[in-house]
Amino acid sequence: MAAAGHGFDRVERRGLMFVLSSPSGAGKTTLSRLLIERMPGLKMSVSATTRPMRPGEVEGRDYRFVDKSSFEQMATRDELLEWATVFDNRYGTPRAPVEAALSAGQDVLFDIDWQGTQQLREKARADVVSVFILPPSAADLEKRLHTRAQDSDAVIRGRMSRATHELSHWAEYDYIVINHDVDEAFAEVQSILKAERLKRERRTGLTTFVRELQRQLEK
């Protein structure tokens, strides 16, 4: 006879690094915002940067603002999971808060490019789940960039040119989502995260739970 009680409540889970990448304008930022709003247990990674704080930004919420010397020391001491230089400013992901979150069973969302994703894989492949967001067409991507009304025509041409290079790395990702409709794309990305959370290797305590279940059944 099986013993009373629910041992499954002791099956905890190690968190994961959930990466979204895409060419500019393909919808990555919108999907990231929706995930943070609608998926409990998921928080946005906060990068360290050497660029100056902009009006409205908050230390520790938007970025960790550090000087170049401090950033160099963090990189030298292997305190960054990934980092890159963009327009003479450096951006990187501090290792300690991410590892603390994963150990506590919390997932961390990354909005990074293919180079950052590659570095994450080199440091912690088992914890990384990567999704590349594709636009339905080049014309749609250009239309979205114009609709945002944030950039000049010259900047948009530059973003379209870079998109060609970024798209060449699509096959390096675990999952591909074509964002022809934001609600459908969100549903697909959400399904990926839910399924990855259930993977056997992330569910710490599962072996103990199964052995206890077997013991109860053998009584």
The rounded mean pLDDT for the chain is 90
In a domain, 4, yes or no: no
Residue 66, CA distances (Å) to 49, 59, 89, 113 in order: 6, 10, 11, 21
Q: Is the pLDDT of residue 8 over 70?
A: no
In a domain, 19, yes or no: yes
In a domain, 2, yes or no: no
pLDDT at residue 5 in the model: 44
In a domain, 48, yes or no: yes
Cα torsion for 198, 178, 117, 146, to the nearest 10°?
Answer: -140
Residue 117, CA distances (Å) to 43, 83, 123, 191 in order: 17, 10, 10, 20
> The domain spanning residue 180 has which CATH number?
3.40.50.300
pLDDT at residue 149 in the model: 57
How far apart CA 103 and CA 115 sit, in angstroms, is 25
Confidence (pTM): 0.85
Q: What is the mean pLDDT of residues 117-144?
A: 91
In a domain, 185, yes or no: yes
The domain containing residue 26 runs over which residues? 11-200
Q: What is the mean pLDDT of residues 164-169?
A: 89
In a domain, 207, yes or no: no
In a domain, 166, yes or no: yes
Are 84 and 92 contacting, i.e. CB atoms less than 8 angstroms apart?
yes
Question: What is the domain count for the chain?
Answer: 1
In a domain, 215, yes or no: no
